[in-house]
């Protein structure tokens, strides 16, 4: 029997069968040995095959993880050689961004977008808490919106405390399986509540010491929304470490680079100091934003053996 994984809590999972029944399921021990680099072999959004019969306690066993359409992962906390799966089989990735309380750093945004690009997951930026914007925030929002929409990432201002403003988002995610990501405190759980008040998810408050959010979601969890969508709410993340990305492939995950790379003089151009580099020429002419290029160089120069928390902003 096939099922959809709604939540992982370690060795136990919450699954939904094809007829909509929700059950607890346990992972077969032999599956844990499959992918050595993974801290968690199954993620919210995975499709799995269950045992035909329940055990004596009334729980199913997960026999097999079905092939993934895609997944999103990050470097595991302080374990640079291991990878944490965040979610699988994602139709669209929505990154929730806030310009204040807390502030989302643009390097964090670009890391997430690169990870999504590496698996060809369409990405959208949701700028939350727009009701708190001061004049300088409005200016910065327009700058970021102009930057990201020019390279193919739609940007929407939202207010998760105003459900009436989210009709467009309901239409975008209807009949899809999507993922929410972002820093702690940006309002992901509040957004899910606004989309479907019947869920009544727990929401958190900001830490007054660091102006960051307190974690309210421990494990990624997929929620079935009343209007016909599945949304994966991931734990609030303060840092996002890239892993499993070949440095030579990194330019392909910047759309504005990808559009110009074939015009570089050398096929293996890394867009640093090589002569005849079309990307560097576009940077000089202003066609490529210097912030995006600086983030590309920063990712390129990272040491994969170092824990990702080295950079507090990303």
Instruction: Look up the pTM and report it.
Output: 0.87
Summarize pLDDT for 207-235 with one digit per residue, the tens: 333 344 443 445 789 999 999 999 999 87
Summarize pLDDT for 281-311 with one digit per residue, the tens: 999 999 999 999 999 999 998 866 554 444 4
Residue 78 has pLDDT above 60, yes or no: no
- CATH number of the domain residue 47 falls in: 2.40.50.140
Residue 240 has pLDDT above 60, yes or no: no
How far from 99 is each of 109, 221, 256, CA to CA, in Å? 12, 25, 24
pLDDT for 282: 98
Asked if residue 242 belongs to a domain, the reply is no
Same domain, 222 and 257: no
Residue 150 has pLDDT above 70, yes or no: yes
Asked if residue 108 belongs to a domain, the reply is yes
pLDDT for 236: 63
Residue 124 has pLDDT above 70, yes or no: yes
Asked if residue 239 belongs to a domain, the reply is no
What mean pLDDT comes out for the span 25-33? 69
Asked if residue 220 belongs to a domain, the reply is yes
Half-sphere exposure of residue 184: CA atoms within 13 angstroms, side-chain side: 19
Same domain, 154 and 122: yes
Summarize pLDDT for 105-118 with one digit per residue, the tens: 999 999 999 999 99
Residue 35 has pLDDT above 60, yes or no: no
Asked if residue 151 belongs to a domain, the reply is yes
Between residues 183 and 93, the one the model is more confident about: 93
Asked if residue 238 belongs to a domain, the reply is no
List the domain range (segments joined by +) for residue 47.
2-65
Same domain, 100 and 165: yes
Same domain, 95 and 188: yes
pLDDT band at 83 (very low <50, low <70, confident <90, very high): confident
Same domain, 83 and 190: yes
Token couple for 38: 């993974």
pLDDT for 304: 60
Categorise residue 187: left if φ over 0, alpha if ψ from -120 to 50, beta otherwise. Answer: left
Name the domain boundary from 20, 39, 65: 65
pLDDT for 145: 98
Same domain, 107 and 188: yes
Other beta carbons within 10 Å of 165: 16
What mean pLDDT comes out for the span 6-35? 80
Same domain, 180 and 296: no
Token couple for 141: 């929002």
Same domain, 78 and 171: yes
How far from 103 is each of 179, 206, 270, 285, CA to CA, in Å? 21, 12, 31, 30
Asked if residue 21 belongs to a domain, the reply is yes
Same domain, 269 and 225: no
Name the domain boundary from 207, 233, 259: 233
Same domain, 83 and 215: yes
Letter string b/e over residues 212-232, b meaning 16 or more CB atoms within 10 A of that residue's CB = bbeebbebbbbbbbeeebbbb
Same domain, 219 and 94: yes
DSSP 8-class letter at 31: G
Summarize pLDDT for 58-71 with one digit per residue, the tens: 789 999 999 999 99
pLDDT band at 174 (very low <50, low <70, confident <90, very high): very high
Average pLDDT over the chain, rounded to whole?
85
- Whether the Cβ atoms of residue 186 and residue 236 lie closer than 8 Å to each other: yes
Cis bond leading into 102, ω under 30°? yes
What mean pLDDT comes out for the span 88-106? 95
Name the domain boundary from 65, 98, 114: 65
How far from 238 is each of 51, 114, 218, CA to CA, in Å? 38, 17, 13
**Helix, strand, or coil (residue 40):** coil
Instruction: Count structural domains, the chain.
Output: 3
Same domain, 54 and 131: no
């Amino acid at each position: 029997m096939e099922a959809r994984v709604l939540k992982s809590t370690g060795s136990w999972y919450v699954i939904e069968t094809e007829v909509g029944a929700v059950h607890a399921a346990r992972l077969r021990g032999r599956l844990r040995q499959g992918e050595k680099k993974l801290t968690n072999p199954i993620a919210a959004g995975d499709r799995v095959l269950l045992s035909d019969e329940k055990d004596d306690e009334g729980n199913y066993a997960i026999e097999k993880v079905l092939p993934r359409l895609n997944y999103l992962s990050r470097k595991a906390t302080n374990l640079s050689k291991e990878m944490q799966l965040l979610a699988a089989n994602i139709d669209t990735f929505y990154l929730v961004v806030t310009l204040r309380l807390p502030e989302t750093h643009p390097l964090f945004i670009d890391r997430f977008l690169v990870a999504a690009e590496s698996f060809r997951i369409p990405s959208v930026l949701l700028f939350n808490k727009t009701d708190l914007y001061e004049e300088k925030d409005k200016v910065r929002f327009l700058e970021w919106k102009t930057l990201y929409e020019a390279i193919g990432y739609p940007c929407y201002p939202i207010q998760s405390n105003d459900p009436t403003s989210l009709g467009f988002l309901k239409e975008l995610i209807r009949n899809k399986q999507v993922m929410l990501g972002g820093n702690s405190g940006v309002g992901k759980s509040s957004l899910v509540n606004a989309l479907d008040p019947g869920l009544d998810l727990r929401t958190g408050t900001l830490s007054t010491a660091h102006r960051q959010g307190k974690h309210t979601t421990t494990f990624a969890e997929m929620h079935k929304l009343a209007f016909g969508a599945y949304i994966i709410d991931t734990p609030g993340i303060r840092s996002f470490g890239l892993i499993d990305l070949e440095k030579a492939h990194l330019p392909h995950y910047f759309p504005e680079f990808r559009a110009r790379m074939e015009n570089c003089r050398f096929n293996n151009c890394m867009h640093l100091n090589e002569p005849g580099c079309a990307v560097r020429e576009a940077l000089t002419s202003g066609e490529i934003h210097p912030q995006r290029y600086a983030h590309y160089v920063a990712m390129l120069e990272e040491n994969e053996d170092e824990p990702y928390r080295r950079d507090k902003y990303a």
